[in-house]
Every structure is written in structure tokens, then in C-alpha cells.
Amino acid sequence: MTLDTVKHAAETPDTKLPWAELGLKEDEYARVREILGRRPTGAELAMYSVMWSEHCSYKSSKVHLRQFGEKAPQSDAMLVGIGENAGVVDVGHGYAVTFKVESHNHPSYVEPYQGAATGVGGIVRDIIAMGARPVAVVDPLRMGAADHPDTKRVLPGVVAGIGGYGNCLGLPNIGGELVFDACYQGNPLVNAGAIGVMRHEDIHLAKASGPGNKVILYGARTGGDGIGGASILASETFDDAKPSKRPAVQVGDPFQEKLLIECTLEAFAEKLVVGIQDLGAAGLSCATSELASNGTGGMRVELDDVPLRDSTLTPEEILMSESQERMCAVVEPEKVERFLAICEKWDVTATVVGEVTDGDRLEIFWHGEKIVDLDPRTVAHDGPVYERPYARPSWQDALQADDANKLPRPATSAELREQVIQLVASPNQASKSWVTDQYDRFVQGNTVLAQPEDSGMVRIDEQTGLGVALANDGNGRYSKLDPYAGAQLALAEAYRNVAATGARPLAVSDCLNFGSPEDTDVMWQFAETTRGLADACLTLGTPVTGGNVSLYNQTGEAAIHPTPVVSVLGVIDDVSRRTPIAFAEEGQLLYLLGETREEFGGSAWSQVVHDHLGGLPPRVDLERERLLAEILISASRDGMIDAAHDLSDGGLVQAVAESCLRGGKGARLVVPDGLDGFTFLFSESAGRAVVAVPRSEELRFTDMCGARGLPVTRIGVVDGDAVELQGEFSIELTELRAAYEQTLPGLFG
Amino acid sequence: MARVVVDVMLKPEILDPQGQAVQRALPRLGFEGIADVRQGKRFELEVEGPVDDAALARIHEMAETFLANTVIEDFEVKVETSEGPK
Amino acid sequence: MARVVVDVMLKPEILDPQGQAVQRALPRLGFEGIADVRQGKRFELEVEGPVDDAALARIHEMAETFLANTVIEDFEVKVETSEGPK
Amino acid sequence: MTARPSPTATLNGGPTGRWNVRIGVVTFPGTLDDRDTQRAVRIAGAEAVPLWHRDKDLKQVDAVVLPGGFSYGDYLRAGAISRFSPLMETIIDQAKAGMPVLGICNGFQVLTESHLLPGAMLRNNHLHFICRDQKLRVESTSTAWTADYTAGQEISIPLKNIDGRYVADERTLDLLEAEGRVAFRYLDGNPNGSLRDIAGITNEAGNVVGLMPHPEHAVEPLVGTGRTDGLGFFTSILKKLVNA
Ligand SMILES: Nc1ncnc2c1ncn2[C@@H]1O[C@H](COP(=O)(O)OP(=O)(O)O)[C@@H](O)[C@H]1O
Ligand SMILES: [Mg+2]
């Protein structure tokens, strides 16, 4: 076998390469040839093909994502924005916080445990690559129908994988979502998010600067993981006798990752690192080309020095391998010894594999021969950009015309009561303890709030009580009805959830899960979503700091609901001021903040009772959201409320049920003037929350709402052992608890 | 009653963090000369009735669809003659 | 290189919920006639040098002090002749 | 980061940081709760001394805590690899000579693997990781780590593990009961199938204690479960060492 060196490639311009099998389009391959002025070598082709893939290049989504930058609100908090491994925001007292959400959808369908586990591993490496200590994880999940047999395979595996990995890393899981819907049957969504904390001066970036500086690869050895494409390259064109077995599934090693965290942080603390990049999708191809192109010079890499788990790997495969738990650091020569000593201390394999050069090329060598010689920018940043066609789906009007407000409503008090129980017991509304009890929420000793609170909250400074909160939301049903409004509702809900716990919303990360961008309907949904989200972020003053796009979540013709998952990060000056959801004190007054309209399109009620999806989602009023948030934050700071719960899917009755069960106290509710009991209980109007106010604070609180123009309605009192709607029905907490808590254990054991 | 054993091991190309951790610990415990360790699972099944070809075919199917995850694992079905670990 | 296998199983008197969970699932998957399932561990050791009595004695010691916890587990050491799961 | 003196620490233990008591907190690769344990030690009023698994030296500490986590990923068996560390050799010797040692969760597993405590920990009977606020009864107050509790006192502290099922043979269990060495028992339902609802035990001398639930996560009113029921472990040892 002749090694396909740069020289060889120049001499054999007519050699056919399997660019199509590697996923490149004809014009893309032509561009590669044009960029290089010759045909690529096998190794170069491997790099271009993975880095120009949809996953790594964002070629279909880029033109739309630009709005997040173009429409970004002015924010003093933003320290590092879109384009790095994760965004960074200033939270005061010299602390900076980084956070991001990513998808690991497809791998989690193929192998739920490992797919989900490695999803957590990947997002945590993004956080450490910024210089931060990870302090919490979250896991927004979407599964197929709760009673579908395949969901019994996927969900328990996913939950065990997220727990198995996150628990072993010592990261408290402080939030997430679990939504069941048949549209996710063949395409479950496994999104994972992480938060990290650092001092301002510790922020690190992925760039290789300073000629002579060493490139160190450390962590797990490189194996043949996730390199199906490269194997084609190796076997069909260059060597027919290659081993055929290359695993499509990667197995995670959380213990290795824990060591990686500790040794990386120790190296940061000793100021040993000039630039750093995690190895995720596209492995070394991505890390070397991104480090080099973001730096000032070029880079030279000796591929023979990469520690291997499998000695039969070809250079193409080494470049593409997605073996987990690896990082790449750029270190000044005189600090290399110390860096390696820290790795040794933590039993982490570390090897110098290259150095920064004063040129501008990325050069990679194998057995002493040059097999890659290219401008790293062309791989990392100058990938193809598509303006994919899109159009409003032909079915959209009919869907919106199918008005949920016209569905038959409960006719009697008994029926109303029955539907409350049905709602609370439905898989999407029922308690998620079956999931969250499998996650460690206490580790690190800083968890102030975790599930089932409105947002997760961790303390980041013991002296001052400074803390951060994170909430993730997304409602695919709303987005299906109106993707522009759906994205805004997702943001509004996460924003409201953060404020409900007393934290001030600061910044946004998002994970956009969609079907195929080659479908004009899907592309329209995507365009509408990004436009809606960017507009709303501008209005609410919360910039998007980063995120992730997952496309092709589609089985045949059927795409999933457009599902933007929006994460809002908030800050709270003193976590002792946090507001929980629990109604814990008898006699406290319950107030409903905001306005309730007849809005049932996409509602939980329409799904649970009628299996219906149609009409319009709730109206969005971002100014109202902002006002509501201000009230909730002030009330928390000044001690005017003891509990708050945001109203979202399931409406008021769901929120009240959760707050009562959490606090172990009942509530007596009265239908306010101008509303009927059904609308009062089940409407999903946005911009609302329910709060528990101590009697001594009642006047102060209502005056504040009145003065600022927020509608506030007294709806009842915390009292007794039942949730009672005066004149209609009463449900004992024991019955309510059984309905709420038994559903998931009943389904999943 | 007859005993059938199903051994399930990670495929050779798949990372085996457990086996690795064991192997790395051995020299520290004073055990040299072990070049590699892989850790897998062993299932001992007590089969009612005769272990004939039909029974073995069923167990093979069970191993393939349930005991092993063939995306990442290989398996082997053996009829035990000895008594297994004591 | 020679392969030595160490099988480690929970002692019979110790509850094995993993084995039980497997056994309970079998009928639901349409597999009848399995009276009991026990799940244990299998270690495949690649031994450098000859697998003579001395080597086996060392491996036995390794199994007893490390691979198995003899408070709860039994083990068996076997020299592999076949190739293991394929 | 240093902790503010907690009001509860003063209640139970006396003025913060006045005595020069050094409590070692061990870090193995994969240990997770070491920094939380150090915080708990500080809140109780003692000095927390980090100990590294590769060292043999105990840095003149007066007592040692083996914290929770997944040392060596819990690969092979929880605690099985850690117990062979150089530091554990020293700790095993010192424990036998009477030094107080507390093993929490993974630390408990290390203690059973080291045979400093009898029995073994196995996978939970329901096979899931479980994280919850767990009610316990303190059965023995005559250990180095429990004197600040009252016999029979009920406390709630977090439980979080997947290998938390305590097993031992009948003879050992009977002996533990007879000698009053069952230190903690689960209340309100056995969370993992532990024999005789055992949550924690002590050695004969009472200096070595192991338990699965996490007292170090219940020392501040704001975080975790919001309870401080776990602080007594750390004030108990502090008082004992101060009065020694
Ligand atoms: N939906 C999105 N919204 C905002 N930023 C996004 C989105 N998707 C991707 N990005 C940003 O684009 C950059 C590249 O993303 P990605 O390649 O996934 O990063 P990484 O490889 O570090 O995970 C990152 O800064 C990421 O935050
Ligand atoms: Mg990254």
C-alpha cells in the first residue's frame, strides 16, 4: 500500500476518491480541489468531509443563526459570545459562568445508555475547555409515546446513562425535562446541558498561538470509534485488507472524564495552558484545525505520536476518530514538563503530538511523510453555506383553523374533577421523580434548588451567597402550531421559571431540534424559530451565548415537531432569598399574577383529554413577561412571597397541585369573577404565575403589583389536606399524590 | 436441571473502561505479566427440560435479542458440564 | 499470548437482583422454561509468558484478593482453549 | 472559599475553629464528595486536611474521613481498587491502632473491601441509582462519630448510590446486633434491600464507622435538603478529640 502523501496526491491528480461516500456533494469536493490546488490526500479528504458535515459546519442553519448575533441585545454581562465552545457571562464579584446545551439524539436512539452518557461527557468537556469548573448538569428529554414498547427500551437506558455518567463525574443534576409524544418515537431527543464557573481571569479559548508551543493530546487513547466514513476511505480506495469492524457507538468512561476535569483545572490553576480544545465530533480533525485557525500561526502534528487503543488504525481514521474523554492543550515548551507531571498525578495519558509553527499551514505527518498540508481556516470556518429553500407548509392553515377552543368541555363538576386527575396523572404532567431520583442532586454541596423546582439553582460563592439558576423549556406542540410564537414561548417560559425562583435572567443557550433541512416545511419551521427566538431575546435583553442544532430528526417523511429547547441562565445575589414552589404555610394567600384567557391550542388539556393538536398557541406578550419577572424578583428580594410557581402546560391547576404536593398542604380556590372554572383551571395563557403571600405582606405585595400595572387576582388560600375548587369539587392530597406519583413508576418499573 | 452459560463480552474494538481499570491496578498490587484485561458478563441459566437443539436455538435468540446488546457486545452460549464457580 | 478466564459469581445464598430481573423479563419476551438466572462477571486475562502452575497460582491469588470479594463471591480460574465469545 | 460559621455549628460544637483539631479528608481518583466533606469539617469547627491516595503520610491528622464518590469509577467493585492505595495501607494500620475513621458511601465501601468493617456492599435490589432524603435511626451513640446524637434519634440525610445494599452472613449480622454495632438503620422503608435495614455499622472499638447516607450533605440549612441533621457526625468527633 502506498501512503497517500501530499506529494503523491500532487502526482496523481486523477485518482478517484470516495468523496460521495463520505458525504460530500460534488460541488463541495470541487471546492476542496480548488482550495488545495490539487486533489486532496485521503487524510485531507477525511478532514474536510467531517468538518463540512451538517453537524460540524452548520451549513444549513448558519444563515439563520446569524440573527442571534445581529439582533443581540446590548448586554454588559456577555464576556464570550457565539463561536467558542460555550458562551461566558459575567455574574459579578469577579465570577464568570459558562453554560451550553447540546443534543445527542441519534446515538441515544441506537444505544440509549452509551448515547446519553457520552452526550453528558461531550457537553462537560465544552465547559472545561472554557476554563471553568463544571458545577451542574441538566437534561431536557423528549421520548416517543409513554406506552410504546420502544420507549421502555429507550427511556430507562437514557436515564441510566445520564445518571451513570453525571453521577460519576460528581455533577449535581439540577433540572431537565421529560416530554412524551408519538412524534419522537423514532427520534427521541436527548439534550444535555452543563454550567461551569470560573474567575474572569481564568477564561480560556480554543486557539493555538506562539510558535514553538507544544500541542499536547491527553486523556483516553484513540480508538476506532465513530469513524464509519473513514473506514470506507481506508478500505475501498487505499487498502482492501482493512479490518471492517469499526464501532458506530462510542462507550463512555466517566471515570476518565473525572480525571480529565481535575487535571485540566489543576493545569489552569498553574497557568500552564495557552489554548485548549475538547475533542468531540470530528475528533482530532476538529481540534487541530480549530486551534490552528483561531491562533496566530500554523501547526505541525506528528500523527504517529497519538496514543492508540487499536494499532491497526489508519491516519485517516485517527483524524476522524470520535473516541471520548480526550482534550488538546497548547502549552509553552518550558511548561510542558509540569503539565505532563499533573497528568501523571491524575493517571491521565498525555503526549506531545505537535507544535505551533510560524507559518499558516496545518501540516500533519505520518511515518515521516506529509499527509496533510492545508490552510486550517478552510477546514474549520470556510465550509459550505446553504440558503436552503423554505416555504410555509400547505397544511399550516388547516392546522391552525382546527381550533382547540371549540373542543367539548367538561359539563359537570364531577367531569371537571375527573379531568383534573386525568391531567395530573398523564405522563407529561406526572411527577418526574422516577427519573430525577436516579440523579445525584446533592453532590458538591451547593445545590439550592433542583427538580421539581421551577429552575435549578446552585450557590457559587459561600461568602456572599451568590448563585446561578438555570431553566430549560420548549414546547414542540406550540411550535408545531406556530414556530415563531413557539420559540418565543419557550424563551418566555424559561425566563419566567428563572424569575420565579428569584433569579435575574441574564443569557440564553438553545438546542434546536428539527427534521430534515432538505424539506421546505422543516426549513420554514427552522427559519421561523430562529427569527422568533432572536426577536424575543432582543426584547427581553437576554443574548444567545451559544447553542447547538440537531437536524434530520425524521423517520421517513415524518419530522418531529419543531423543538427548540431554550435554556435561560439567571443570577441571584443571595441564594437565601430563593423562592421555592412549595405551599408550606397554612393561611397564606394565593394570588394569580397575569391574565387568563381562553387559550387551549396545543394545551396539555387538549392532548390528554382529546388527543388533539390544533389552533393557535397562547398569545405572547414579552413586555408582560418582563414585568412579571421584575415583580417576582422584587418580591423575592424583599421577602414578600414564600412560594411561587410559574404557570405553563397544564395551566393553573397543574401548578397548584404541584405546589400543594411539594409543601404537603392543601389549597382552597375560588373562581375569579369573569372566568369559568374550566378556563381558570386549564387555560395555558402565558405570562402568569401563582404565588403564596404571607398575610402580613399582602398589602405591600398587591400595592407593588398595582403600582407597576401587573394584573393580580386573589384566588384562594393555603389550607387543609385537599385541593378544593369552591362550589365544584375537592380532591384529597392523598388521591392527588397517587395520581401524580404513580404514573412513571407504573410505566417504567 | 441443565445449566447453560451465556458469556457476554464487549466487542474487541469497543472501549472497556472496567477491564482497563482492573489492568492498570494489577501492577500496583504486585501482579505483573497481564497484558490485557477485558471484563464481561456471565449468565448462568437453569433450563427446565432437555437442552436439545431447539432449546439451544431459543437461548441463542434470547442472548442475541436480550442478554447481549449486539451493537457493542459479542456473546457465546455454552452447555455447562462442570458446576461453575465454587 | 495465552488467555486465562476468571469467572466470578455471587455466592448462591446471596440475593442476585440482576439475575432475577433477567429471569422475570424472559416470559414477557416469550422465553419460557428458564427456572433460574444468575448474573456474574467474566474476566479475560491475556497472560504474557507461559501459563504454568506458578502463573496459575498467581492468578488464583489475584482472583481471591482482588477480582472477587470472597465475602460475597465465588470464583473459578480456567485456561481458555477456545477464542471466547465471537 | 471558606465557610461562614454556621449557627448550628456553634450550637452543637462550640466556637468555630478554636481547637486545633485536624481531620483528614481522603481523595482517591474519582472521589466526589471530598470538598463537601472538607466544608462540613470546617463548619463543625475543625481543620480539614486534604489527603492524597498516593501518599503514605497522614500529615498528623487526628481522624480521617473517606468521602463518597466513585473512586476508580467503581469499576470492578465499589471501593475494590482504592483499598490497595498506599494511603489506605497507613489508614488500615492506624485504624487498627484506634484512630477514628469515618467512611461515607464509597468510603464505607472502601472500609468493607479493606475488611476494617465486616460485610460487603452490593447493587441495590431495584438496580437503580437512588438519590433521596433518607430517614435513619441512630442506633449507637457510643462510636467516635455519633456521641452528639441521642440513642434512637431519628435524622434525615441524603442517600445517593447504586451499590448500597449491605450484606453479610447471618452469623456476622447476629454478632453486629449483639454487640450493638449496627450504628444506623433505615426508617420508613428499606431503600435498597440492605439486610436488617442496616445503613451503617461500626467496628468493635467504635473508632471506625461506615454508612451509606451522606451526613456531609446535611450541614447547612440552605443547600441540599435544607436540614442540618448530619452535622452531629463532625461535632461528635471534634468534641471527642478536644476532650481526649
Ligand atoms: N442554536 C444555536 N444557537 C446559538 N449558537 C449556536 C447554535 N448552534 C450552534 N451554536 C454555536 O456555534 C458554535 C459551534 O457549535 P459546535 O460546533 O456545536 O461547538 P462545539 O463543537 O464546541 O460543541 C458554538 O459556539 C455554538 O454555541
Ligand atoms: Mg467544543
Comparing C-alpha atoms, which of A669, A673, A680, A681 is closest to residue A717?
A669
For residue B12, pLDDT over 70 is answered with yes
Task: Provide, as residue numbers in chain B, all residues whose Cβ is less than 8 Å from the Cβ of D73.
Answer: 17-18, 21
> Which one is predicted more confidently, B85 or A482?
A482
Separation CA A128–CA A387 (nearest Å): 34
| Closest CB from A243, A249, A347 relative to B72 | A249
Catalytic annotation present for D214: yes
- pLDDT given at position D10: 37
Complex confidence, ipTM: 0.91
Tell me what pLDDT residue D20 has: 84
pLDDT confidence of A163, banded at 50, 70, 90? very high
Contact D150, D189 (CB under 8 A): no
Rounded mean pLDDT of A414-429? 98
pLDDT digits (tens, 9 = 90+) for A12-33: 999 999 998 888 999 999 999 9
Q: A194 phi and psi, to 5 degrees?
A: -145, 155
Beta bridge partners of A731: A723
Q: Is A307 on the interface with B (CB under 8 A)?
A: no
Cα separation of D193 and D123, whole Å?
Answer: 9
pLDDT band at A230 (very low <50, low <70, confident <90, very high): low
User: Of A305-314, A633-642, B27-36, which one has max mean pLDDT?
Assistant: A633-642
Contact A310, A367 (CB under 8 A): no
To probe the interface with B, which of C37, C38, C80 has the most B CB atoms within 10 Å?
C38
Q: Taking Cα atoms as reference points, which of C29, C33, C56 lies closest to residue C45?
A: C56
Among D113, D139, D216, D220, the active-site one is D216
- Model confidence at A78, pLDDT cuts 50, 70, 90, reads confident
Q: What's B65's DSSP letter?
A: I
What are the cell numbers at D97? 491502632
What's residue A237's pLDDT? 38
Task: Measure the N-to-C terminal CA separation of chain B; round to a whole number of Å.
Answer: 18
D149-167 confidence digits (pLDDT tens): 999 999 999 999 999 999 9
Residue D12 has pLDDT above 50, yes or no: no
Residue A318's identity, in one-letter code, is I
Q: Are A131 and A204 in contact (CB under 8 A)?
A: yes
Looking at every residue in chain C, the average pLDDT score rounds to: 90
Domain span holding position D134? 22-243
DSSP class of residue A709 equals T
Mean pLDDT across A710-729: 97
What is the distance between the alpha carbons of residues A283 and A281, in angstroms, rounded to a whole number?
5
Model pTM score? 0.93
Q: Decide if A108 touches B, using CB distance below 8 A.
A: no
Q: Contact B15/A253, CB-based, under 8 Å?
A: yes
Quick check: B58 pLDDT over 70? Answer: yes
Residue C74: its chain B contacts at CB < 8 A?
85-86
Average pLDDT over residues C65-86: 83
CA–CA separation, A659 and D12 (whole Å)? 33
pLDDT of amino acid A205: 82
Chain length of chain A: 749
Convert the pLDDT of each residue in D209-242 to its tens digit. 999 999 999 999 989 888 999 999 999 999 999 9
In sequence order, which ranges of A15-148 are alpha helices (DSSP H)? 26-36, 42-51, 54-57, 62-70, 105-110, 112-129
Percent of chain A surpassing pLDDT 70: 97
Read off the C-alpha cell for A468.
Answer: 446561578
Question: Tens digit of pLDDT for each residue in D91-134?
Answer: 999 999 999 999 999 999 999 999 999 999 999 999 999 999 99
Provide the pLDDT for residue A39: 95
Query: In sequence order, which residues have a C-beta less than 8 Å from that of residue A149 and are 6 or more positions away?
Result: none
Is the Cβ–Cβ distance between A593 and A688 less than 8 Å? yes
Domain residue ranges in chain B: 2-79
For position B81, what pLDDT does the model report?
Answer: 67
Confidence band (pLDDT; 50, 70, 90) for D2?
very low
Contacts by residues A609-614 (CB-CB < 8 Å, ≥ 24 positions apart): A609/A407, A609/A419, A609/A422, A609/A423, A610/A404, A610/A407, A610/A408, A612/A402, A612/A404, A612/A407, A613/A399, A613/A404, A613/A477, A613/A480, A613/A481, A614/A399, A614/A400, A614/A401, A614/A402, A614/A403, A614/A404, A614/A481
With 50 as the cut, is the pLDDT of residue A549 above it?
yes
pLDDT, residue A372, reads 95
Q: Is A716 left (phi over 0), alpha (psi -120 to 50) or beta?
A: left
Residue D1: per-residue pLDDT:
35
| φ, ψ (nearest 5 deg) of residue A663 | -90, -10
Helix (H, G, I), strand (E, B) or coil at C44: strand
CA–CA dist A626, A629 (Å, integer): 5
What is the fold of B2-79?
Answer: Mth169; Chain: A , (3.30.1280)
* pLDDT for residue D3 is more than 60: no
Which pLDDT does position A51 carry in this prediction? Answer: 92
Residue D14 pLDDT exceeds 80: no
Whether pLDDT at C82 is above 70: no
For residue A238, pLDDT beyond 50: no
pLDDT greater than 90 at residue D16: no
- In chain D, DSSP assigns E strands to 22-27, 47-52, 63-66, 101-104, 120-122, 130-138, 154-161, 165-167, 182-186, 198-202, 208-211
A633-641 average pLDDT score = 96
Q: What is the pLDDT of residues A577-621, one digit of tens each?
A: 999 999 999 999 999 999 999 999 999 999 999 999 999 999 999
CB contact under 8 A, B25 and D72: yes
Q: How confident is the model at residue A85 (pLDDT cuts 50, 70, 90)?
A: confident
Q: How confident is the model at residue C28 (pLDDT cuts 50, 70, 90)?
A: confident
| CA atoms of D133 and D227, how far apart (whole Å) | 10
- Residue A232: which residues within 8 A CB-CB, separation 6 or more? A18, A21, A22
Rounded Cα–Cα distance for residues A179 and A429 (Å):
9
For residue A657, the SS3 value is helix
Which residues from D are below 8 Å from C72, CB to CB? 120, 122, 167
What is the phi/psi pair of residue A585, to 5°? -115, 115
Q: Is the pLDDT of residue D171 over 70?
A: yes
Q: What residues of A act catalytically?
A: 55, 104
d(CA C49, CA A704): 82
Number of domains observed in the structure of chain D: 1
Residues ≥6 apart with Cβ < 8 Å to A411: none
Residue of B7, B11, B29, B38 to mutate, testing the C interface (most C Cβ within 10 Å of its Cβ): B38
Spatial CA neighbour of D60 closest among D28, D102, D24: D24
DSSP code at position A295? S
**What is the average pLDDT value for chain A, to the nearest integer?**
94
Average pLDDT on A394-398 reads: 97
Strand ranges of the sheet holding D101-104, from the earlier edge strand across to the other edge: D47-52, D22-27, D63-66, D101-104, D208-211, D198-202, D182-186, D130-138, D154-161
